[in-house]
Amino acid sequence: MSEERIPVVDLAPAEVGEVDLYQKRERIYTRKVEGFFQRLRLYTGWPLLIMYFGGPWLQWEGRQAIWFDLPARKFHIFGITFWPQDAPLLAWLLVIAAFALFTVTVLAGRVWCGYTCPQTVWTSIFMWAEQLSEGTRNQRIRLDQAPWSLDKARRKLQKHAMWFGFSLFTGIAFVGYFTPVRDLVIELPLAEANTWSYLWVMFFTLATYINAGWLREQVCMYMCPYARFQAVMFDRDTLIVSYDAERGEPRGSRRREADPRAAGLGDCIDCELCVQVCPTGIDIRNGLQLECITCALCIDACDSVMDRMNYPRGLIRYTTENALEGRPTHVLRPRLIGYSLALLAMAGVFLTVLLTRVPVGLDAIRERGQLFRQVGSGMIENVYTLKIRNMSEDAQSYRIGVDGLDDAVIEGRTEVSLASGEVLAVPVAVRAPRERLGDNRSVPIVFTVTATVDAATSASADSRFLGPGPVR
Task: Determine the number of helices (DSSP H) and then strands (DSSP E) in the chain.
Answer: 15, 18
As to burial, measured by CB atoms within 10 angstroms (0-12 exposed, 13-18 middle, 19+ buried), residue 464 is middle
> Which residues contact ligand SF4 (rule: CB under 6 A)?
241, 243, 248, 251, 268-274, 277-280, 282, 284-285, 292-298, 301-302, 305, 315-316
- Of 206 and 271, the one with the shorter C-beta distance to ligand SF4 is 271
* Closest to 188 (Cα-Cα) out of 203, 201, 177: 201
- Of 298 and 459, the one with the shorter C-beta distance to ligand SF4 is 298
- Of 30 and 197, the one with the shorter C-beta distance to ligand SF4 is 30
- Of 173 and 239, the one with the shorter C-beta distance to ligand SF4 is 239
- Of 302 and 459, the one with the shorter C-beta distance to ligand SF4 is 302
**106 Cβ neighbours under 8 A, 6+ residues apart:** 233, 234, 235, 238, 335, 336, 339
The minimum distance between CB 395 and ligand SF4, in angstroms, equals: 55
Beta bridge partners of 76: 67, 81
Measured distance CA(76)–CA(83) in Å, rounded:
9
What does 133-197 look like in DSSP terms, one character per residue? Answer: HH-SHHHHHHHHHSPP-HHHHHHHHHHHHHHHHHHHHHHHHHHTTTTTHHHHHHHTTTT-S-HHH
Instruction: With beta carbons less than 8 A apart as the criterion, state whether 311 and 267 touch.
Output: yes
Measured distance CA(59)–CA(400) in Å, rounded:
36
- Of 175 and 302, the one with the shorter C-beta distance to ligand SF4 is 302
The minimum distance between CB 217 and ligand SF4, in angstroms, equals: 8
- Cβ atoms < 10 Å from Cβ of 59: 9
The minimum distance between CB 244 and ligand SF4, in angstroms, equals: 9
Which region holds residue 324: left if phi is over 0, alpha if psi is between -120 and 50, else beta? alpha
* Closest to 127 (Cα-Cα) out of 45, 195, 53: 45
The minimum distance between CB 46 and ligand SF4, in angstroms, equals: 19
- Of 316 and 461, the one with the shorter C-beta distance to ligand SF4 is 316
The minimum distance between CB 324 and ligand SF4, in angstroms, equals: 14
- Of 277 and 364, the one with the shorter C-beta distance to ligand SF4 is 277
The minimum distance between CB 108 and ligand SF4, in angstroms, equals: 12
- Cβ atoms < 10 Å from Cβ of 101: 16
The minimum distance between CB 269 and ligand SF4, in angstroms, equals: 5
Amino acid at 247: R
The minimum distance between CB 236 and ligand SF4, in angstroms, equals: 19
- Of 159 and 285, the one with the shorter C-beta distance to ligand SF4 is 285
Residue 239 C-beta-side C-alpha neighbours within 13 Å: 17
The minimum distance between CB 298 and ligand SF4, in angstroms, equals: 3
Measured distance CA(83)–CA(359) in Å, rounded:
10
